[in-house]
Amino acid sequence: MSVGRKLFGDGYSGLEYDYRGLLRLYTETGNTEKVAEYRSILHEWNVLRDRIHVQYDGPVQLTAVTDNCDELVRTFFSIADRNHCTASTDCTAGCRSS
């Protein structure tokens, strides 16, 4: 879960499956403290996802094709900025300009 959160952020859709799985595990084992903890975490995740969904503009509309890697990276981050995305790594590290 920490890898998914680190790479994709706290609103990463795959986290729902992890949180629900842990919630089920702790419910079945009778660990009421962890059940309460993961109910709260899942609720906060849902609130965050709802906020992200409201901000989402829909699929990216491609307007042009480019072979220039720097231009592609700038376009990607401008779209990510508009959608309030974050990246925890430098995506341009392996990129070479044409």
DSSP per-residue codes, 4-71 = HHHHH-TT-TTHHHHHHHHHHHHHHHT-HHHHHHHHHHHHHHHHHHHHHHHH---S---------HHH
pTM for this entry: 0.50
Q: Which has more confidence, 52 or 39? A: 39
Domain of 52 in residue numbering reads as 1-56
Q: How many domains does the chain have?
A: 2
Residues 44-93 pLDDT 10s: 988 988 887 666 555 666 666 667 788 878 877 887 776 655 544 444 44
Q: Give just the sign of the alpha carbon dihedral 44, 58, 60, 83.
A: negative
Three-state secondary structure along 76-88?
HHHHHHHCCCCCC
The verdict on 8 and 51 lying in the same domain is yes
The verdict on 28 and 69 lying in the same domain is no
The verdict on 14 and 49 lying in the same domain is yes
